[in-house]
């Protein structure tokens, strides 16, 4: 399973109970809407089991209008799931970058910096899209740019 699917599942699993409570649904009704037994659903709420990919997509698409879903996924989760799935069927571009996960933070004449919207990770890419550096710290990015890249 890809990292993007894992992140999607983790995020969906972490908010399923909050969505149910916000809508005042019983565990039985929520389980039925997602497509699982009540017993399995209770295990998800108790963090003994994670949602599967299909259950995560079903949950997020059924409740995509809920504020917590919007806040958690930023973009429409159904479109995000579709992009993850369709991207897996495409050949790799070599950079390892999936453009819908990354937003451009800054650009120079021979580089650009992007941030992953799911993980917060940063990366510097050259003009050909090759990854030069990845890190979770914007300070590391700033230091690398100031020391190694002619602006």
Mean pLDDT of residues grouped by 10 in the chain (151 residues)? 84 96 96 93 96 93 91 82 65 46 83 82 82 84 82 53
Q: What is the pLDDT of residue 86?
A: 64
pTM: 0.58
Reduced to 3 states (helix: H, G, I; strand: E, B; else coil), residue 114 is strand
Q: What is the pLDDT of residue 90?
A: 43
Dist CA 25 CA 62 (whole Å): 13
Q: What is the pLDDT of residue 96?
A: 45
Instruction: Evaluate whether 107 touches 113 at the Cβ level (below 8 Å).
Output: yes
Residue 92 DSSP symbol: P
């Amino acid at each position: 399973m890809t990292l993007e699917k894992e992140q999607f599942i983790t995020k969906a699993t972490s908010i399923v109970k909050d969505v149910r409570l916000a809508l005042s649904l019983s565990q039985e009704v929520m389980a039925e809407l997602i497509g699982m037994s009540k017993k399995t659903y209770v295990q998800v709420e108790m963090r003994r089991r994670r949602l599967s990919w299909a259950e995560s997509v079903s949950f997020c698409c059924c409740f995509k209008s809920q504020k917590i879903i919007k806040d958690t996924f930023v973009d429409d989760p159904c479109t995000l799931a579709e992009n993850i799935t369709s991207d897996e069927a495409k050949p790799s571009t070599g950079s390892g970058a999936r453009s819908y996960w990354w937003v451009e933070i800054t650009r120079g004449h021979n580089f650009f910096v992007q941030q992953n919207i799911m993980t917060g990770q940063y990366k510097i890419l050259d003009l050909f899209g090759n990854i030069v550096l990845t890190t979770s710290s914007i300070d590391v990015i700033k230091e690398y740019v100031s020391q190694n890249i002619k602006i």
